[in-house]
Amino acid sequence: MLYRSMPSVRNSLLAAILLISMSMPAIADPDPAHEDSPLGSFIATKLTPDENIFHVSAKRLFGTQKTPAHLQAQAIGTYALGCLAGAQQLPITGDNWQVMRLSRNRNWGTPQIVNFIERIAAEAKAKAGWNGFLVGDMAQPRGGPMLSGHASHQIGLDADIWFTPMPDHVLSSAERENFAPLEMVKDHATLNAETWSESRDKLIQTVAQDPQVARIFVHPPIKKELCRWSGGKGAWLAKVRPLFGHTFHFHVRLKCPEGMGACKDQWEPHPDDGTGCGKELAYWYSDAPWKVIKRDPNAPKPKPRPPLTLAGLPALCRAVVAAP
């Protein structure tokens, strides 16, 4: 009924999306026109009659999704511009992990990353003596851009893992919401020697050596510490990349899984010195990455960029939004 009462312009947009979805291989027949479908109900409940689904910000479109798209699992697009079909939810409590901040509903990913976390958490316990993972943000139920935080985490192959080990009891949902992580750095140049430990060096080494892992992001002093600890030796160090904002967690990124043709890998890091402990790290210890750009107060204000919409995402993402 909702659908029938919608203006015809939106009906034709829905029909267009339905056609796109139906012409796609390996993605089963979503029916966005059905009033129960997320897109149908999104249009009916969240858009005003004069709003066009292709002009709505992609953040809003994906950030308000509560359930995964019931399609074959696929990471679509790039880590920072894409979406996720057929997502799996990481169970909130496992043998060697617990999911934090449940209210965010970001413990979704490809089946590959869900399996990976289960496997690598057990391996980290065996090899690094790490008691278990506290898992932060992965992806939204349908991936895509988020209303808050993260440029990436869009295709179900990224996960944030805390540097705080899992406590010995099952956390309540209130604890998962409020428990504060340990900070590993004092500032952007200095490691926090009171919280860092060798088990954390071994933890990152274990994860980085895994062949499924493409990159790990950590705050610069953590990379510096790993370089010191390892004596600047080990090909795994090349995968560990300094980046702002990774002070209490590391961010692990998996390579595109085999057979996911719509997933686009990033270039593989090949620092000159084989580790990134030289020139690359020195860059993060220069002023360049931390400089605040001062704008001429008399210059005309730059026009705000129009928001990213569904039209700016890979075409397959339309079916991901539309699917039941």
Per CB under 5 A, residues contacting Zn ion are 160, 251
Shortest Cβ distance from residue 182 to Zn ion (Å)?
A: 17
Shortest Cβ distance from residue 246 to Zn ion (Å)?
A: 7
Query: Between residues 10 and 251, which has the closer beta carbon with respect to Zn ion?
Result: 251
CA distance 252 to 207: 8
Shortest Cβ distance from residue 273 to Zn ion (Å)?
A: 26
CA distance 191 to 194: 9
Query: Between residues 176 and 251, which has the closer beta carbon with respect to Zn ion?
Result: 251
Query: Between residues 26 and 151, which has the closer beta carbon with respect to Zn ion?
Result: 151
Residue nearest to Zn ion (CB): 251
Query: Between residues 30 and 242, which has the closer beta carbon with respect to Zn ion?
Result: 242
CA distance 322 to 54: 12
Distances (CA, A) of 290 to 80, 220, 243, 244, 293: 22, 12, 11, 9, 9
Shortest Cβ distance from residue 8 to Zn ion (Å)?
A: 43
H or E segment at 38? helix 38-46
CA distance 211 to 218: 19
Choose among 58, 69, 73: nearest CA to 144. 58
Shortest Cβ distance from residue 160 to Zn ion (Å)?
A: 4
Query: Between residues 32 and 82, which has the closer beta carbon with respect to Zn ion?
Result: 82
